[in-house]
Structures are given as structure tokens and as C-alpha cells.
Structure 1
Amino acid sequence: MGVQRIDVSATTTAPAALVHALLRDGASWPTWSPIGSFELESPGPDGGESVGAVRVFRTGRVTSRERIAEVVPDRRFSYTLVSGLATKDYRADIDLTEGPGGTTVRWHSSFRAKVPGLGGVYRRSLTSFIRQCVDGLAAHATAQAEAHPRP
């Protein structure tokens, strides 16, 4: 079973700190993504949505449990899938690169399909879902930055 990879990017005029804050706040995800609801199942050892925290997202009939794997302030937010999809070894890294025109959001993930031969099907479906997440995050961050401009 081969490793499947997804790599989606978008740019927002918002600063990286604002984008990172949205990623860290699971409760904001239903606002800017196709996700229906959020619940913090268990906080990380440092409290709240820190590394090790398990977050539950529901979208339609799908419930996924994700563990925060890495947090680099204003630069990276990573998570692994605990349960909910027919994948193994799922990890997503969301990298933020701030430049003069704003922040580029690069959401890249990899996984293996639990069912042989279905990796491409899962990759296409997840790519579409992640594209909606990235585009929604970029648009929402832009709107937030415009509503509350930096001095």
C-alpha cells in the first residue's frame, strides 16, 4: 500500500499570527471549513489545544478524532488522525509563510489507505475537502484582518 500525498495552498492578506490562531482554535473550524462541529475530547499536557490534545470534528455522518502533533507559533500546525477515516498513518502539516503581501498557507498531508487499491479514491476526496478548508481559512483570515487591521 503506497503512501498518498496531498498538497494544497492558498494565500491570505492576513498575518501568520492570525492564521495560526484560527488553526489552534478548533471551535473556529466550523466557521471557515466544511466541518460541522468541534469538541475538545482531551486537552494536551500543557492545557487546552496544545500538543497531545485530541480534537473531535463532525461533518455529516463522519466523526474524526485528531491529535495535535506539532505547534510552531505562527509557522506550523500539525495533527495526526486517531480515528474516523479508512486511512493509516495520516498526518497533516499546515505551514505558514509570511511575506510582504500576506501569508501563504500550505496544507500538506500523507496517509496510507486501509483498503488496498482505494488510496487514490481517498486522496481525491480528501484533496477536495482540504481545498475547501484552505480556501475557507484564507478567506476568513482575510476578512478578520480587514475587520481588525493592525496599527
Structure 2
Amino acid sequence: MGRKYSFEVNRTSTASPEALFALEADGPRWAEWGRPLIVQARWARRGTGDPDGVGAVREVGLWPVLIREETLEYELGRKHVYTFAGGRPLKDYRAEVLFTPMAGGGTHLRWTGSFTEPVTGSGPVVAATLRNVIRLFSAKLVKAAETGR
């Protein structure tokens, strides 16, 4: 069994937690703000109860490479937790996105992830790659929420 690794990305935004959450948790909207890495985004399955909530599976990427992410926890405007559906491309992957209102307005965004290294010794490189990808996505998310694009 491989070692566990994790990463964390923090950002602040002038946008509200609700505005940021609405963009991040809505699968199809990733194609609006996630370019050039995300060109296609859609729901593969809707959630139980809330269609965007627990059990929902979004597919994001560019065909034929689509990543499937299943929602594990969903607290409207505050928290979105997901994993890779089917355990791919990383074993035991779990990401948590927290949207915390700041006292003077705006939002503190905290995006964390953890996984089991797929091949012994690959953990540090995979963690660094994921951190950089999430840095990119979180910057795009903040910009989209702040500018409305």
C-alpha cells in the first residue's frame, strides 16, 4: 500500500461564498471558467435529493480524457467534497473546497486534497502537480466569480 499525500491551496476573493460555490459545485459551468484545461463539462449523474449534491457525478476535461468526480458532501454555499468516481485516476483521492465568509466581506477559499500514491515514490510529484492544477483552477474560479465571466 502506498503512502498518503496531501496538498492545500488558499485564496481570498471579493466575491461571496455563494457566488464561488455556485461556479465550483456546478459541473457543467466548469467549461465556462476552466478553459483551457476544461473544455467539456457535464453531469454524468445527478445527485440524490439536491441534483447537484451528494451522489452527483460531473465529467470535466476534453474528450477523450474526461475526469469523473463524485460529490461526497455538499453544504450549499459553504462546502463541496468530492472524489474521483471509480477510483481513477488516483486511489483514495478526496478533495474538499471550503468557502468561508470574511469579516470585511468576500471569501476565504480553501481547497485541499489527499490521495494514496499510485506508484511508490510518485507521491511528491503527483502532489505538486495537483497543487499547481488547483492553484490554476482556484485563480480562474476567483476571477470568474469576481468578474461574472
Same fold by TM-score, threshold 0.5 exceeded? yes
Q: Cα deviations across residues 114-144 of structure 1 (Å, max 9, x unaligned)? A: 2111111111111111100111111111112
| Structure 2 Cα separation of the partners of residues 61 and 40 of structure 1 | 16
* Structure-2 residue corresponding to 1:81: 84
Kindly report which structure 2 residues correspond to 1:84-99, keeping only aligned pairs within 5 A, or say none.
85-99=88-102
* Structure-2 residue corresponding to 1:109: 113
Unaligned runs of 5+ in 2: none
Is residue 63–residue 84 contact of structure 1 (8 Å, CA) maintained in 2? no
* Structure-2 residue corresponding to 1:4: 5
What TM-score, normalized by structure 2, do the two folds share? 0.88
What TM-score, normalized by structure 1, do the two folds share? 0.87
Of 130-139 and 39-48, more deviation after overlay is shown by 39-48
Corresponding pairs, count: 145
TM-aligned CA deviation for residue 94 of structure 1: 0.2
| Structure 2 Cα separation of the partners of residues 122 and 39 of structure 1 | 26
| Structure 2 Cα separation of the partners of residues 67 and 52 of structure 1 | 6
Of 105-114 and 31-40, more deviation after overlay is shown by 31-40
| Structure 2 Cα separation of the partners of residues 16 and 67 of structure 1 | 21
1:69 to 57, 65, 72: 72
Structure 2 SS opposite 1:55: strand
Unaligned runs of 5+ in 1: none
| Structure 2 Cα separation of the partners of residues 9 and 47 of structure 1 | 27
| Structure 2 Cα separation of the partners of residues 121 and 59 of structure 1 | 23
